[in-house]
Structure 1
Amino acid sequence: MSGNSGGSPGNGQAVAGRVETVDDDVAARLRLAVGRLNRRIRIDGSESLPPLQLSTLVTVEQHGPLRLSDLARREGVTAPTMSRVLSALDDQGMVERAPDPGDARGVLVSVSAAGRDKLREVRNERTALVARRLDRLTGEQRTALVAALPALEALLVPDED
């Protein structure tokens, strides 16, 4: 990065055929901070589920019931990989499978009560980990973070295609 944090937008250096701006520096810093915080939370947590299993549970909770192929697409993995993930979740009682009423050959996957309990447990633990990190901040830093939350949440809105 060019370290343009003190400059104004448009005053940057040419990078890969374009001009790097202050926004690029902010984007890089934000990406690094969010990525590292997320990784730290995962490392410090004591989840018993591997990341892909946990992500799959969340996806099914948010968008389910889903077919295996839809889940694989959403998670960016192959159908055989998703089949193994679902088998592991099924073995642990985290998901339920039901016939797809629209396709007699298909199966719909949904989160079971045990899966919802596990998600609640993971979310509570991760929230507590973040809360402990927030306790390290000064009052001014916490106020700035609270003020930034609407902007951070706006970044979660998917791009329109």
Structure 2
Amino acid sequence: MGGNTGTDTVTTKYSGTDEELAARLRLAVGRLNRRIRIDDKESLPPLQLSTLVTVENHGPLRLSELARREAVTAPTMSRVLTALDEAGLVTRAADPGDARGVLISISATGVSRLAELRSHRTALIARRLDRLDDQQRNALEAALPALEALLVDEED
């Protein structure tokens, strides 16, 4: 395994400010995410992928609820859903609680496509992990609980 050894980040206390740590973390996570998107040529556009995951995790949902969850306007979400629907990744059904409403669900094709994308992206990250030495890999493993804690929303 390659890579430089750096300092022992598992046992060394971080000596910078919270702002410096936040900036470095933002930059590292953002660049890694961008690299994965660039390397993953078979992926969906980010908003389509995010919407599909939201529908998988919380569906069936109305367009307005999806737009709220994804922090976009209803017209933007409508365009995203049209693309996902045309690709066969979501289905639309009448809302039994409101005859005017439509509920969006993930299709079997959508479930399959998400599984493929997740597998492919995991493989992309695994190849990058192969470049790290044991010390760097151990530091990443030790940092995972803290990184996962950052994903918990304050209202959870």
TM-score range, shorter chain: 0.7 to 0.9
**Structure 1, residues 35-85: CA drift from partner, whole Å, max 9, x if none?**
100010000102242221111101101111100000011111111111111
Residue 125 of structure 2 corresponds to residue 138 of structure 1:
no
Provide the aligned length of Structure 1 versus Structure 2.
144
Q: d(CA) in 1 for partners of 2:67 and 2:42? A: 22
Corresponding residue number in structure 1 for 2:99:
104
CA contact (8 A) 2:91 2:105 kept: yes
Q: d(CA) in 2 for partners of 1:55 and 1:61? A: 10
2:115 match: secondary structure: helix
Q: d(CA) in 2 for partners of 1:74 and 1:7? A: 35
Aligned counterpart for 2:121 among listed residues 126, 141, 146:
126
Residue 18 of structure 2 corresponds to residue 36 of structure 1:
no
CA change 1:7–1:144 in 2 (3 A) is closer
Residue 105 of structure 2 corresponds to residue 114 of structure 1:
no
**Which ranges of 4 or more aligned residues in structure 1 deviate by more than 4 Å?**
none
Q: d(CA) in 2 for partners of 1:127 and 1:44? A: 12
2:120 match: secondary structure: helix
Aligned counterpart for 1:49 among listed residues 44, 47, 55:
44
Greater RCO (CA < 8 Å, at least 6 residues apart):
2
When the two chains are superposed, the root-mean-square deviation of aligned CA atoms in Å is 1.7
TM-score, structure 1 normalization: 0.84
TM-score, structure 2 normalization: 0.87
CA change 1:47–1:7 in 2 (3 A) is closer
Corresponding residue number in structure 1 for 2:65:
70
2:100 match: secondary structure: strand
Q: d(CA) in 1 for partners of 2:150 and 2:144? A: 10
Q: Which amino acid counterpart does residue 84 of structure 2 have in structure 1?
A: L
1:52 match: secondary structure: helix
Q: Aligned ranges for residues 143-158 of structure 1 at < 5 Å? A: 143-158=138-153
Q: d(CA) in 2 for partners of 1:154 and 1:77? A: 26
CA change 1:66–1:137 in 2 (3 A) is same
CA contact (8 A) 2:43 2:117 kept: no
Which protein is bigger by CA-based radius of gyration? 1
**Structure 1, residues 14-39: CA drift from partner, whole Å, max 9, x if none?**
xxxxxxx6111111101110010001
Segments of 5+ residues of structure 2 without an aligned counterpart are: 1-12
Q: d(CA) in 1 for partners of 2:49 and 2:138? A: 32
Query: How far is 1:7 from its partner?
Result: 8.5
